[in-house]
Amino acid sequence: MMERTEAELISAVLNGDAASFEPLVAKYSPRVFATARRYARRESEIEDIAQEVWLKAFDKLKSFRGEAPFEHWLMKMTVRTCYDFLRGHQRNRESSFSELSEPENDWLERFVAAPESASEHADAAKLLIERVMEKLSPQARLVITLLEIEDRSVKEIAQLTGWSAALVKVRAFRARAEMRKIVAKMAKEKYL
Amino acid sequence: MNIVELQKKLIAAAKTEVLDDRVPYAFEKRITALLASRVAPDNMALWVRGLWRAAVSCVAISMVCGAWAFFNPATTTTATTDDLSQNFQNTLLASVDQSDQAQ
């Protein structure tokens, strides 16, 4: 059987053939899961996010006009769902840095002794940034992830989040300041 | 400790993280099944259900009114029966009468 195009699949879903949604889910789920893993740690939470994204996508498919690729439309929905998830799960923000693991402590000590000797490829560094990210506010975490980690432009972030470009810039400024404060707190807890 | 440098280093560490895009087995099947299980609301059925409820309420109200009219000793005289029916009609048509008077 000839493979149907995305437009054909979407049109079939809109005409009531829900089974035509399955190839779209199969094609784009890796991207949805990869994005969700940036914001949630537990696999059950990641699956919940992905499931919510696809249910929303199905319900709102009528609003997809086909002017931009389906993937862009879906990624907007994914980012917004992740943001909603962050707003609803702020449980780790108040915890302290006192319970750093040994590799994390070692990495920090190496950084203090000679910053260039502490490799950013080390697992300990990845654990540390995860801890820092968990303490950021949802807005700050979203902005830092999109702007600093994924290297997206302000315009792209504005499109993904639905915020204005000016608002993205303001929130980026605040997010960097918030992150600096958290990193400083981590350093203070360790060395004072 | 140089905080700005540490912040940069940690962001660089986050950038080196390889994205994990694994999808659970048969995830797409699960989503399709979930969508299929969500029964689409049948407008006709909703109307029928609503109308049946309304009909039952109407029957109940008329039975209560009937019973009250039948058993109430005051309804034995013709004058009060007329009053009751007149009152009932006035109550039902109160809103229409008021709008007529307003015009």
Q: Could you give the CA distance from residue B9 to residue B3 in angstroms, rounded to a whole number?
A: 10
CA-based torsion, A38, A41, A45, A46: positive or negative: positive
Is pLDDT above 60 for A109?
yes
pLDDT at B39: 59
A168: phi then psi, degrees, rounded to nearest 5: -60, -45
pLDDT tens digits, one per residue of A68-84 = 899 999 999 999 999 99
In this predicted structure, which of A136-140, B2-6, B83-87 has the lowest mean pLDDT?
B83-87
pLDDT at A105: 85
CB contact under 8 A, A121 and B35: no
Residue A56 burial by CB count (10 A; 0-12/13-18/19+): exposed, middle or buried? middle
List of chain A residues whose C-beta atoms are within 8 Å of the C-beta of residue B9? 111, 115, 118, 120, 125
Percent over 70 (pLDDT), chain A: 94
Could you report the predicted ipTM of this complex, rounded to two decimals?
Answer: 0.83
Residue B33 lies in a domain: no
Percent over 90 (pLDDT), chain A: 62
| Spans of all domains in chain A | 1-89, 95-192
B11 vs chain A: nearest CA distance in angstroms?
6
Longest dimension (CA), chain B: 102
| The token pair that represents A169 in the structure block | 């810039």
Contact between residue A32 and residue A73 where contact means Cβ atoms under 8 Å apart: no
Q: Could you give the CA distance from residue A150 to residue A78 in angstroms, rounded to a whole number?
A: 15
CB contact under 8 A, A37 and B19: yes
> For B16, which of A51, A120, A187 is closest by C-beta distance?
A120
Is pLDDT above 60 for A50?
yes
- Give the mean model confidence (pLDDT) for residues A2-8: 82
The CATH number of domain A95-192, selected from 3.40.1260.20, 1.10.10.10, 3.30.200.20, 3.90.800.10 = 1.10.10.10
A48 vs chain B: nearest CA distance in angstroms?
11
Q: Could you give the CA distance from residue A122 to residue A101 in angstroms, rounded to a whole number?
A: 14
pLDDT at A44: 94
B6 vs chain A: nearest CA distance in angstroms?
8
Residue B4 lies in a domain: no
- Cβ neighbors of A22 (< 8 A, separation 6 or more) are B28, B29, B31, B32
pLDDT at B12: 92
CB contact under 8 A, A133 and B9: no
pTM: 0.73
Q: Could you give the CA distance from residue A14 to residue A22 in angstroms, rounded to a whole number?
A: 13
pLDDT at A122: 82
- Give the mean model confidence (pLDDT) for residues A111-135: 86
Contact between residue A50 and residue A29 where contact means Cβ atoms under 8 Å apart: yes
Percent over 70 (pLDDT), chain B: 83
- Give the mean model confidence (pLDDT) for residues A126-134: 91
Q: Could you give the CA distance from residue B30 to residue B64 in angstroms, rounded to a whole number?
A: 52
- CATH second-level architecture of A1-89? Orthogonal Bundle (1.10)
Is pLDDT above 80 for A169?
yes
Residue B76 lies in a domain: yes
**DSSP code of residue A103:** H
| Residue whose C-alpha is closest to residue A136's, from A71, A98, A86 | A86
pLDDT tens digits, one per residue of A15-24 = 888 889 999 9
Chain A CA closest to residue B40: A16
pLDDT at A46: 96
Q: How many CB atoms lie within 10 A of CB A146?
A: 22
List of chain B residues whose C-beta atoms are within 8 Å of the C-beta of residue A43? 24
